[in-house]
Structure 1
Amino acid sequence: MEIKILGTGCAKCRAMFQLTEQAVNELRLEASVVKEEDILKIISYKVLGLPALVVDGEVVSAGHDLTKEEIKVLIAK
């Protein structure tokens, strides 16, 4: 599983990255968690808000501050 956090490096994006890493560890998933800060790559996902959460190439959330529990639900699907 590949999980990407799309963001420009703001505090919300960094927080989502940390929460996502924690969620992956707590769920004991084999997944890579990557920060994507390249604006051209972010634009290719056609998201209207940041931070965005991408699981295996699919945008599952954009523009929302998610809790760790919400992230767990989204990545466990």
Structure 2
Amino acid sequence: MEIKVIGTGCDKCDRLYENTQEALRNLGMEANVEKVEDLVEIVKLGVMTSPSLMVDGKLLIRGREAKTREIEKLLSR
């Protein structure tokens, strides 16, 4: 599983990254989690709002911070 936490390094972006890591731990899952902060890379991904969460190329959350519980539900589908 490839996960990208997309944002320019704001507090909400950092919390989304932390919540994603915690959700993976809680579920006992392993994934390659990448924090994408470079604006050029963000635009290449087609993301216009941050923070956003992309899993295996699919944008699941955009423009907001998600709680750990919500991320767990998304990842366990």
TM-score for both structures, normalised by structure 1: 0.91
Q: CA deviation at 1:33?
A: 1.3
Equivalent position SS for 2:30: coil
Gaps of 5+ in 2: none
The residue aligned with 2:59 is 59
Letter in 2 for 1:37: E
Moved over 3 A (4+): none
Task: Output the CA distance in 1 between the equivalents of 2:3 and 2:56.
Answer: 6
Q: Where does residue 2 of structure 1 map in the other structure?
A: 2
Aligned to 1:37: 37
Matches of 1:64 and 1:33 in 2, distance apart?
18
Amino acid at match of 1:63: G
Identity of aligned residues (%): 39
Native 8 Å contact 2:8 2:39 kept in 1:
yes
Q: Please say if residues 45 and 59 of structure 1, whose CA atoms lie closer than 8 Å, have aligned partners that are also in contact.
A: no
RMSD of the alignment, in Å? Answer: 1.0
Q: C-alpha separation between the residues in 1 aligned to 2:21 and 2:59?
A: 17
Q: Does the residue aligned with 2:69 lie in a helix, a strand or coil? A: helix
Alpha-carbon separation, structure 1, partners of 2:47 and 2:8: 13
Question: What SS class does the counterpart of residue 4 from structure 1 fall into?
Answer: strand
State whether residues 12 and 64 of structure 2, in contact with CA within 8 Å, keep that contact through their aligned partners in structure 1.
no
| CA drift at 1:49 | 1.4
